[in-house]
Chains A and B, each alone.
Chain A
Amino acid sequence: LEGQVPWRIAARRSLGQEISAQEIAAQEWQANSMDQPVDEHTASDLCAIAEARQLTPAQCNMLARNVTGALRPNRDIYLWVLANVLSAVLLCGCRRRQKTFDPADCALEIALAPTPERRAALMRLCAGHEDVRVSREGIAVDLDSLQFEASFARIDDALAFADFFITGSDGALFASFKEAVLALTPVDGTAASPHEAVGILSRRIAQWRRERLPLGRQERLFSALVGFLLKRPAAQQRYGLLAFDDDDIVAFWRTCVEAGERLMFRTAVERFRDFGRLVKHLDALRSLTRPDDLDALAARMETEPDTDWNATTDDVAEVRLLEALKSLPDDPNALKGVERDLIATIAALMPFHKQRPGSVLRVLAFGPVQTGIANRLRRGGGGPAIDERVGCADAHSYDTVADRFYRLRDHLDSLRRIAVALRFGDKALVQGVDPDTLAETVQQGNAALKRLRRAGFDRSRAELAAIFSGIDGALSDFCTIICDFTAEIDRLGERRTLSDRFARDKPVFIETFTRAYLARQETRADV
């Protein structure tokens, strides 16, 4: 029943079909939650494409942005790359075999070929043409009707997007791809202009987005968030109209709950993070004085062509960390599953682990309680009852959460020393490093290695050194973000003890959970 739309339930009712209370509970959860899971269907389409094309996480990220249209200033930028490349490729193919040339076939071959084969195929197709040159970097086209250059990285992203048109959404977009290819077919030996093809693809994907993406829900949430910040009393805006702190996030979340929305606290934190990123990116925090300035912000976003709005440094850092976590080998067991999960949780909330550690602690302590309630509602049962859960008796205290990260930090730190020992253990001197410090670190690393009792660490030193040489960069990155976070926790604890903070926060969360999940049931019983 999950994911079923309300009208379908209504239709089943009108047909006299019986619907269990459990189904209604799950349905009510769906209807009142702003945290519906992503469209599984689209996610599985993207998974299939990522697997077939062997995409890196960074490429997956770009694919997701292309599909959702989250690109500025020009959301069709990759459609232009795609149309330009296909136009040039079709011209070369057409010149080669005039009679038997099938443009759709040629476009599909290029779009669906695995990366190394595709480059070879492009080279072969365009060989011998002065005006279409394929080099190791990319393609340069200089025709009367078509001039452009594109790097292979861009072309790969554009073709992954084309893959979505071909294989995504059960093939519903495929006809528009074919139509675009026909519009790109050269006429009388001249390359076709990409305008028409871009128009076809852009209109079709825009329609698909309207039908399939939960954009409306997100828009509702963000407009509420921005509005909330703007309408605060002046005293709370002393750091800027759009500046916010940990308590603003909680206050916003409570407003949503009071308005009848079962917003996940974690989602509220993530959305404030997204908003903070954008504002930082626009670098206009201080100059903002009036709500009208929002329009000025938006205008900058839409019109500044030189700025790359599409990836902030934090965003890239998150993708890189996930990439490193994913490619970390299971053997030797340097990081256990729970340890990986802790790192992934922090990566998902970056850069709040440094800027808003208080909110991160709140998510880590009270988030699981709310997830438990949500899962119980979704499944219609299982585990303790809701009125028991809203009491937050199972919530991990901030001290417990902090302890986990202290332990993870210590473990990562000793892994880092082990990496140093394995890399530099047999060298007396390394340029730019104090020999005494190095000797001490190597000694600590060797001792840590001897102490470590985990699967796979009983290998020979040479084998371990070979494995570590491939992962020590990633381990160092993990260590850095976890150290950053624990340092921030220490700073928080200095101002007010963590147990005091937890004692103050707990009643607030209990009250809000009660309001969100119990008050609603009572009103329904009244009706």
Chain B
Amino acid sequence: MSDFGVDRSHPLVRWLAEQAVAADLFRATVDGAATREDATASLSMRALLAYARRDHRAPPSFAIEQAIRTDPATARRYRNLLAGMAIAFSPVALAAATDPVPSRVVGQWRLRVSQPEGLSPVLVLESLAPAPAPTAIEAIGPAGGPIRLPLPEPVRGSIQLPLDDRFAELAAFHRLIADPQTSIALLR
């Protein structure tokens, strides 16, 4: 289409364009019966946000976690919210590192798993710089999750969490963070 020599980025043109898009969106919002159905079919952002903000010791909701595992759109939303909520977030997990003892820096903390002979593996978080300590860690990825674990208080700048294989949740967490595609969030 010829623009007859009128600049497309002219402020006047730009303003008209923004108004036109706003008007279209407004009309779609006011008589948006069709789009609303679509929105109620999956979990609302508010419900997901409330779930991401829940108390660390509150029991997980099976229905919500099922939705996060099965619906890619819900998973994407939950991850985005978690990334926003977290004091530190890493979209890739421990296994992405190449060290024999996998380790990863998430925000001001270095995460690694140490495996003492004959004992359960231990998740260790070391503080790299003075920072408020996280009180929970959450992992979510295509392999499973979300799994949220409360963390103990740091002792001399380091937090230790034994990943005891006898507890299904801890074992699942250990498996999850071994997958390079798992995201890890540190929460307060």
Binding site for B on A (CB under 8 A): 34, 38-40, 42-44, 46-48, 50-52, 57, 60-61, 63-65, 67-70, 72, 102, 104-105, 108, 112, 166-168, 170-172, 174-175, 177-178, 213-216, 218-224, 226-228, 230-231, 255-256, 259-261, 270-271, 274-275, 278, 291, 294-295, 297-298, 301-302, 309, 319, 322, 326, 344, 348
Contact B8 A64 (CB under 8 A): no
> CA A40 – CA B83 in complex, angstroms?
25
Which chain B residues numbered 48 to 84 have a C-beta less than 8 Å away from chain A?
48-49, 53, 73, 76-81, 83-84
Question: CB < 8 Å: which of A168, A178, A274 contacts B20?
Answer: A274
Contact B17 A38 (CB under 8 A): no
> CA A213 – CA B22 in complex, angstroms?
10
> CA A223 – CA B16 in complex, angstroms?
9
Taking A174-B80, A226-B13 as contacts, is the C-beta distance between A322 and B30 under 8 angstroms? Answer: yes
Question: CB < 8 Å: which of B4, B17, B78 contacts A227?
Answer: B4
Question: CB < 8 Å: which of A52, A174, A214 contacts B44?
Answer: A52
Q: Does B2 contact A (CB under 8 A)?
A: yes
Contact B12 A297 (CB under 8 A): yes
Q: Does B6 contact A (CB under 8 A)?
A: yes
Task: Give the Cβ gap from A219 to chain B, nearest Cβ, in Å.
Answer: 4
Contact B6 A60 (CB under 8 A): no
> CA A95 – CA B28 in complex, angstroms?
43
Contact B16 A218 (CB under 8 A): yes
> CA A200 – CA B26 in complex, angstroms?
26
- Give the chain B neighbours of A326 by CB distance below 8 A: 30-31
A278 (CB) vs chain B CBs: closest residue: B16
Contact B30 A178 (CB under 8 A): no
Question: CB < 8 Å: which of A215, A294, A322 contacts B6?
Answer: A294
Taking A38-B25, A51-B36 as contacts, is the C-beta distance between A167 and B49 under 8 angstroms? Answer: yes
Contact B46 A112 (CB under 8 A): yes
> CA A178 – CA B31 in complex, angstroms?
32
- Give the chain A neighbours of B17 by CB distance below 8 A: 215, 218-219, 221-222
> CA A175 – CA B91 in complex, angstroms?
14
- Give the chain A neighbours of B80 by CB distance below 8 A: 170-172, 174-175
Contact A44 B32 (CB under 8 A): yes
Q: Does B166 contact A (CB under 8 A)?
A: no
Contact A261 B1 (CB under 8 A): yes
Taking A52-B46, A172-B80, A175-B80 as contacts, is the C-beta distance between A220 and B3 under 8 angstroms? Answer: yes
Contact B28 A43 (CB under 8 A): yes
- Give the chain A neighbours of B19 by CB distance below 8 A: 65, 68, 70, 274, 278
Task: Give the Cβ gap from A166 to chain B, nearest Cβ, in Å.
Answer: 7
- Give the chain B neighbours of A270 by CB distance below 8 A: 20
| Chain B 149-166 interface 0/1 with A at a Cβ cutoff of 8 Å (1 = within) | 000000000000000000
> CA A321 – CA B114 in complex, angstroms?
67
- Give the chain B neighbours of A43 by CB distance below 8 A: 25, 28-29, 32, 35
> CA A216 – CA B8 in complex, angstroms?
8
> CA A256 – CA B73 in complex, angstroms?
38
> CA A486 – CA B28 in complex, angstroms?
28
A43 (CB) vs chain B CBs: closest residue: B28
Q: What 4 pairs across the A-B complex have the smallest Cβ distances?
A: A227-B4, A171-B80, A218-B17, A167-B45
| Chain B 27-42 interface 0/1 with A at a Cβ cutoff of 8 Å (1 = within) | 1111110011011000
- Give the chain B neighbours of A60 by CB distance below 8 A: 26, 29-30
Contact A222 B29 (CB under 8 A): no
Which chain B residues numbered 116 to 134 have a C-beta less than 8 Å away from chain A?
none
Question: CB < 8 Å: which of A57, A168, A213 contacts B21?
Answer: A213
Task: Give the Cβ gap from A391 to chain B, nearest Cβ, in Å.
Answer: 26
Q: Does B85 contact A (CB under 8 A)?
A: yes
- Give the chain A neighbours of B30 by CB distance below 8 A: 57, 60, 322, 326
Q: Does B15 contact A (CB under 8 A)?
A: yes
Taking A50-B29, A68-B21 as contacts, is the C-beta distance between A220 and B8 under 8 angstroms? Answer: yes
> CA A34 – CA B3 in complex, angstroms?
14
Task: Give the Cβ gap from A309 to chain B, nearest Cβ, in Å.
Answer: 8
Contact B49 A227 (CB under 8 A): no
Task: Give the Cβ gap from A218 to chain B, nearest Cβ, in Å.
Answer: 4
- Give the chain B neighbours of A302 by CB distance below 8 A: 11
Question: CB < 8 Å: which of B18, B21, B26, B85 contacts A61?
Answer: B26
Contact A102 B188 (CB under 8 A): yes
Question: CB < 8 Å: which of B12, B29, B85 contacts A298?
Answer: B12
Q: Does B24 contact A (CB under 8 A)?
A: yes
> CA A34 – CA B2 in complex, angstroms?
14
Taking A47-B39, A167-B49 as contacts, is the C-beta distance between A68 and B22 under 8 angstroms? Answer: yes
Contact A223 B22 (CB under 8 A): no
Q: Does B7 contact A (CB under 8 A)?
A: yes
Q: Does B98 contact A (CB under 8 A)?
A: no
Contact A228 B4 (CB under 8 A): yes
Question: CB < 8 Å: which of B6, B29, B49, B78 contacts A166?
Answer: B49
